[in-house]
Amino acid sequence: MFFFTDDSMGSCPSSPTEERFGDLLQELGELDWAVRYFRDRHVQQQKLLGDFHPETLQSKNELAMCLLKKGNLDTAEAMFKEVLERRRCTLGNDHLDTLHSINGLGATLQALSRFEEAVPFLIEALEKSLEVIGSDHPITISAMDNLGTLLQRTGQLEEAEKLIAEAVARSWCGSTAQQVQQGIILIHHARILMVMKKYKKAQEPALLAYSLLQALEDTHLDPPVESIQTLVDLYNGWNDAEPDAGHDRSEAMWAAILDKARV
């Protein structure tokens, strides 16, 4: 089944300002308000356009993504599954929106620690994204990072590190959302190197993540604090491995910065 948009339906597409408002709420850390906004927007699109219209599915996918960030994983999973099924049906497997849904569902299943279920979705998301939109698209980079973190959690450290390192190399900063994405990927890279006991190599992405994300402190988002926690953990592990190298002083310094950031 294919869906064709029709201006005679009497509806108006969402303006860029309306779409940006929900993103802005998320950037400000106002996830409760963002959920309310995306839910109201979805209900409105559903009434005006029907369940299968691309804009209705997009608004539901945005709501699912916001719920995922908020930690409402079960609800997000159900929404991602419904949106993915309808997008496969109306848009096909290679459409950009479908790829976004595949990646989102895989990430949600990973967050639920259902790794075996997440694997085929994350592999499909990465393979299709590489084929359809190329290696430098934000969705492809997100798919690389998601699959890499999954491989890490299942003990495939070498493969995971290579994949996340590639995601770091291909990520770039434009919007605030892209800045957050790159910072989080850098944190993931640092943490997998820490698991591999490669503390010196982990120091560069950990410090870069902090430098990149500290400008976002006024938005009350979690990533800046997470980057500081990563540095505390880095120097703690490094001090355990090399107790006479003075890494305890670095750990104490970052622990003090972390306490201040949490006030």
* Cα–Cα separations (whole angstroms), residue 60 to 23, 66, 104: 14, 10, 12
Q: Give the pLDDT confidence score for residue 18 in this predicted structure.
A: 59
Q: Give the pLDDT confidence score for residue 5 in this predicted structure.
A: 25
What is the value of pTM for the model shown?
A: 0.79
* Cα–Cα separations (whole angstroms), residue 34 to 24, 152, 221: 9, 31, 14
**pLDDT, averaged across the chain:** 87
Q: What is the pLDDT confidence band of residue 3, given thresholds at 50, 70 and 90?
A: very low
pLDDT digits (tens, 9 = 90+) for 24-66: 787 777 888 889 999 999 999 999 999 999 999 999 998 998 9
Amino acid type, 107: A
Comma-separated ranges of CATH 1.25.40.10 domains in the chain: 92-170
**Spatial CA neighbour of 163 closest among 187, 189, 137:** 189
pLDDT digits (tens, 9 = 90+) for 77-96: 999 999 999 999 999 999 99
CATH 1.25.40.10 holds for 92-170: yes
Q: Give the pLDDT confidence score for residue 11 in this predicted structure.
A: 34
